[in-house]
Amino acid sequence: MNDGGVKHAVVICLAPQNSRTSVGLYRAALTGQALAFSFDFVESWHDQPSLVAAFAEKFSTGWERACVEAGLRCP
């Protein structure tokens, strides 16, 4: 990116939570570099309502299938 003439970047860490050992380490790694561009770090994508709804939908589908496969009647 330095060589490509990038002036600004938006960074999204794909860890599903914001913590010192996930997002914090990525931020620290970038902050310690001599970069030719500035950056903004997205901190809280993990709690966006549409993402939570998508996770809930996938979970519900998987839960129902697991119950059927196990021969259980799940709520």
- What would the pLDDT profile of 27-47 be if each residue is shown by its tens digit? 888 888 888 999 998 877 778
Question: Residue 29 sits in which domain range?
Answer: 1-43
- Residue 2 CA to residue 35 CA, distance in Å, equals 6
- In this structure, the answer to whether residues 37 and 51 fall within a common structural domain is no
- Residue 32 CA to residue 26 CA, distance in Å, equals 10
Q: Is the pLDDT of residue 58 over 90?
A: yes
User: How many domains are there within the chain?
Assistant: 2
Share of the chain above pLDDT 90, in %: 41
Question: What's the average model confidence in pLDDT over 52-62?
Answer: 92
Question: What's the average model confidence in pLDDT over 50-63?
Answer: 91
- In this structure, the answer to whether residues 25 and 51 fall within a common structural domain is no
Give the pLDDT confidence of 5-19 residue by residue, as tens digits: 999 999 888 876 767
- In this structure, the answer to whether residues 73 and 57 fall within a common structural domain is yes
- In this structure, the answer to whether residues 39 and 55 fall within a common structural domain is no
Q: Is the pLDDT of residue 26 over 90?
A: no
Element (H, E) at 7: none
